[in-house]
């Protein structure tokens, strides 16, 4: 993967935050901080796209036929099966 050099401008407050990230030992330079932020933004955008697709699929499927009690029972059963609810 090739590297492209960019010049960016930050406010003093943003620069101080970047320097604090480096001082904490999590990063060794400004570029690592910026690349990490970009990776996180990309992942967030992918998650948002997945959620939007799921909402669209739900809307396109039309109204449901189950009652609220049936839906609640299904959710509880799934959570119990995954060990996320005490039995």
Distance CA 35, CA 3 (A): 11
Quote the mean pLDDT of the chain: 95
Say whether pLDDT at 86 is over 80: no
Q: What is the DSSP letter of 61?
A: T
Instruction: Give the pTM.
Output: 0.68
Distance of CA 4 to the CA centre of its chain: 26
Tell me the domain boundaries of the chain. 12-81
């Amino acid at each position: 993967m090739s590297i492209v050099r960019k010049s960016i401008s930050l406010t003093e407050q943003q620069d101080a935050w970047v320097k604090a990230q480096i001082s904490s030992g999590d990063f060794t330079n400004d570029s690592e901080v910026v690349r990490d932020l970009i990776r996180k933004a990309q992942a967030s955008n992918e998650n948002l796209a997945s959620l939007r697709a799921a909402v669209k699929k739900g809307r396109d499927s039309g109204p449901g036929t189950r009652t609220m009690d049936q839906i609640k029972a299904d959710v509880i059963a799934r959570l119990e099966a995954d060990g996320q609810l005490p039995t």
